[in-house]
Amino acid sequence: MSAARPGPAASAALRRLRSAAGNGGSQIQGTAGIPRRSRRRKSVAIAYEPGQGDRAEPQRPRWEPRDWREQLERIREMRRSRDAPVDEMGVQKCYDSGAPPQVMRYQVLLALMLSSQTKDQVTSAAMLRLRQHGLTVDTVLQMDDETLGQIIYPVGFWRNKVKYIKQTTAILKQKYGGDIPSTVEELVQLPGVGPKMAHLAMHIAWDSVAGIAVDTHVHRISNRLKWVKKETKHPEETRVALEDWLPRDLWKEINWLLVGFGQQTCLPVNPRCSQCLNQDICPAAKRH
């Protein structure tokens, strides 16, 4: 009865042993080539962190708020009618959509500057009056401060805004050829333009999402829903906290959703919790 042939792995091992014996151990000691065993060792080392004998620890799951997807869907449902002030008179409704793109972008920026600390209804009315005078970089530069103030009154801090609008418009003319900057970093360098305005300008004027636009409504509601890992004191803190976990494809929508929700239901004082679909899963809800 003939002996069984060794398998491929055993045959390879036998050949290595015979080669080592025939060469006086040169397979192990020789300098002609890199030993097979050493080559195997180096290929295995690639699976580890450089210089480490242990495997790298797996990344921990990213933090995200409890129930946030359900809360978001319910807010979408509450906002389905699109009848909040921001929907009817927000910045996206204030510019002349038929104007040349450069003029349209300038009007968006001015509407944002006027909207700070001002109700949408007041901003919308002021923008309408400005547009009746021909709202372009050149017309604003030619307008004296008193006239500009009379047109935009009674927006909040209108005297300061007259100054900022004239300064910013001059910069746009001199530095950007009458257009507005196309980055958040450049936009926030303009007098009277903050981070929220810059991100909204990117959204509306440039159709680009560079970050989340966080105003007082988004800031308040994010803290009430515990959408921030720890309480935040300022809108810019809230923006950073939200961007850390909220999927990027929601960054543009979240401002519109929460602003209208904050205007109609989740009010700053005496929120209408009894009318809110999130009452049973909102950490801040009044359930009595």
Q: Please answer whether residues 215 and 234 qualify as being in contact, where contact means their C-beta atoms are separated by less than 8 angstroms.
A: no
Backbone angles phi, psi at 282, to 5 degrees: -100, 125
pLDDT reported for residue 30: 40
pLDDT digits 0-9 by tens, 152-174: 999 999 999 999 999 999 999 99
Helix residue spans in 67-183 (DSSP H):
68-78, 85-89, 101-115, 120-132, 137-142, 145-152, 158-175
Q: To 5 degrees, how large is the angle CA 105–CA 106–CA 109?
A: 90
Q: What's the whole-number mean pLDDT along residues 175-189?
A: 98
pLDDT digits 0-9 by tens, 256-288: 999 999 999 999 999 999 999 999 999 999 864
Rounded Cα distance, 96 and 62, in Å: 42
Active-site choice (163, 196, 226, 229): 196
Q: Which residue has the higher pLDDT, 32 or 245?
A: 245
pLDDT digits 0-9 by tens, 10-38: 445 445 545 544 554 444 344 444 445 54
Q: Which residue has the higher pLDDT, 147 or 11?
A: 147
Element (H, E) at 104: helix 101-115
252 is catalytic: no
